[in-house]
Amino acid sequence: MRNMLNCRKGSAAIATVVAMIPLIAAIALGGEAGTWYVTRHHAQNAADAAAYSGALKLACDLAASSSVLCSDANTVDYRGKQFAAQNAFCNSGDTSYPGSRCSNALPTGTSQSVTIAQLTSWKGNTGNFVQATVSQQQPAFLAKFLGLTTVTIEAMGTASVVDVTNPCVLALKDPITFQGSTTVNSPTCGLASNSPSQNSVDFTGNGLNVTNVGTISGAGGCKDTGGAQCSKAITYAPPAPDPLSALNAAISALTPASFTGGSCGSTLKAYGTATSTTGPCYNTTWPSGNVTLSGVYFLTGNITINGGPTISGTATLIFMPPKFLNASDPGATLRITGNPTIQLTALDSVSTTQVPAAMASVVGLMSKLLIYDPEASSNLKISGNSSSYFNGITYAPNADVTYQGSTASYTCVQVIAKGVSLSGNSSFDNSGCPASSVAHSRYVRMVP
């Protein structure tokens, strides 16, 4: 008996069993906590997807407010909840979204919640944001020993709709190039290129001063041979749509028969003025010497302004496209040589009486339009100084434009062309341009 009482065999096993009880409980609790982590991970995926898709819809709505069609008729709330549902999170009874993976019968005691909110600020930054909050409440099991009866697992995702630019200068196909000692001022708007090339934004000059601009962006990369300018550029940005593209088809459809007055002869005349008994005419020549303009002018042939005349007035200049006169017509061109003084301001609006009937549907796009030049071979050069200015929109969708503007301040100075080279000192501002003429480019990104 004494030997049995003094025997220690099996004591370690008893101690191990006693120790294993809390150890197994801890492991089991850890396993339960692990399921919480997995649910939290899935909830975060759902929240991020909901926020991002809701922000895409918001970006579409913002584009629609800028006269660009948004084809999605659903709401931001719907799109957000739809993509949360595709990640298996829905409000109770709200499971009928396309592609939904939500269960119609959650386990007893389990419920889910999805909320989508549009915000105008986030962590001190103003803008357009969509925030999705996804949560799941479920009963606790072993966690009850810690005083928990239910566990709420929540995740939040926030996406921002970023305005890349509302460009005052938009290169539709070729790079935007900064040459020489260029100074550009466009604090209310941006400079953008839709070129996907590696030099979509091309800084080729030294002494550049392009700090006072809204944004500089390109659909491709940035090239810099003169310093550290590429740090200012947003690269691989979404291309900005051409807001004036409808003009191309309308003007290309014109023929000499669209002008009942035929050719205006040697006199420069605006459309709709009392030119002849037969009606409005198109212009084939540009007079030498000083010219004062008023109205909308349709021009054919090679138009050259040279020497030192003063060209002034309020007008819109439409250079006719190729094949207007006949099959071999190369189209009108504009050349400015010498040192003329040019003081031109675009018309605030254009009425249907100032254009041929075939253009009635696009007169809204002609507000503030100063120059329309569709010529592909044209290498349009626009130069300004302290006494010369181009106050309005220059639109040359098929030409590379060299712009040496003036520093004069106007609220609608905008250039849209196939490619744009900036040199000299230029000031741009499209705050006074009609909304239909202003391009927008936006993208969506998640924010922490």
Higher pLDDT, 198 or 239: 198
pLDDT for the residue numbered 335: 82
* Cα dihedral 236→238→244→245 (10° resolution): 90
Band (pLDDT 50/70/90 cuts) for residue 302 is: confident
What are the tokens at 437? 């003429």
H helical segments located in 65-156: 76-85
pLDDT for the residue numbered 316: 96
Band (pLDDT 50/70/90 cuts) for residue 116 is: very high
pLDDT for the residue numbered 23: 47
Band (pLDDT 50/70/90 cuts) for residue 31 is: low
Q: DSSP 3-state assignment of 422?
A: strand
**pLDDT(350) > 60:** yes
Render pLDDT for 117-167 as a digit per residue (tens, 0 to 9): 999 999 998 999 999 999 999 887 665 556 667 888 999 999 999 877 689
Residues in contact with 314: Cβ distance below 8 Å, sequence separation at least 6, in sequence order: 293, 294, 344, 345, 346, 347
pLDDT for the residue numbered 182: 84
Q: Hey, how many other C-beta atoms are within 10 angstroms of the C-beta on 445?
A: 10
Cα 116 from Cα 15, distance rounded (Å): 55
Render pLDDT for 56-110 as a digit per residue (tens, 0 to 9): 999 888 876 554 567 788 999 999 999 999 999 999 888 889 999 998 888 888 9
**pLDDT(114) > 60:** yes
pLDDT for the residue numbered 349: 95
Render pLDDT for 154-173 as a digit per residue (tens, 0 to 9): 999 999 998 776 899 999 99
| Helix axes 76-85 and 11-64, enclosed angle (nearest 10) | 150
Please state which of the ranges 25-34, 304-313, 351-360 shows the lowest mean pLDDT: 25-34
Q: Give the rounded percent of residues in the chain with a pLDDT score beyond 70.
A: 86
Q: Hey, how many other C-beta atoms are within 10 angstroms of the C-beta on 432?
A: 15
Cα 152 from Cα 140, distance rounded (Å): 10
pLDDT for the residue numbered 21: 46
Q: Give the rounded percent of residues in the chain with a pLDDT score beyond 90.
A: 50
β-pairing, 425-427 vs 302-305, is: unpaired
| Cβ–Cβ < 8 Å for 273, 293 | no
**pLDDT(378) > 70:** no
Q: What is the pTM of this model?
A: 0.75
Q: What is the DSSP letter of 116?
A: E
Cα 232 from Cα 162, distance rounded (Å): 16
Cα 377 from Cα 120, distance rounded (Å): 46
Helix (DSSP H) and strand (DSSP E) numbers for the chain:
4, 24
The closest alpha carbon to 87, from 150, 19, 136, belongs to 136
Band (pLDDT 50/70/90 cuts) for residue 34 is: confident
List, as one string, the DSSP characters of 269-337: --TTSS--TT---BB----SS-EEEEEEEEE-SEEEE-SS-EEEEEEEEEEPPTTSSSTT----EEEE-
* Chain mean position to CA 212: 19
385 φ, ψ (degrees, to nearest 5): -150, -160
Band (pLDDT 50/70/90 cuts) for residue 277 is: low
Cα 338 from Cα 318, distance rounded (Å): 22
* Cα dihedral 165→118→52→167 (10° resolution): -10
Render pLDDT for 37-61 as a digit per residue (tens, 0 to 9): 888 999 999 999 999 999 999 988 8
Render pLDDT for 227-273 as a digit per residue (tens, 0 to 9): 678 888 889 988 888 999 999 999 999 999 999 989 988 889 999 87
Render pLDDT for 401-428 as a digit per residue (tens, 0 to 9): 888 876 667 889 999 999 999 988 888 9
pLDDT for the residue numbered 312: 94
Domain ranges of the chain: 12-163, 167-447
325 φ, ψ (degrees, to nearest 5): -80, -40
The rounded mean pLDDT for the chain is 85
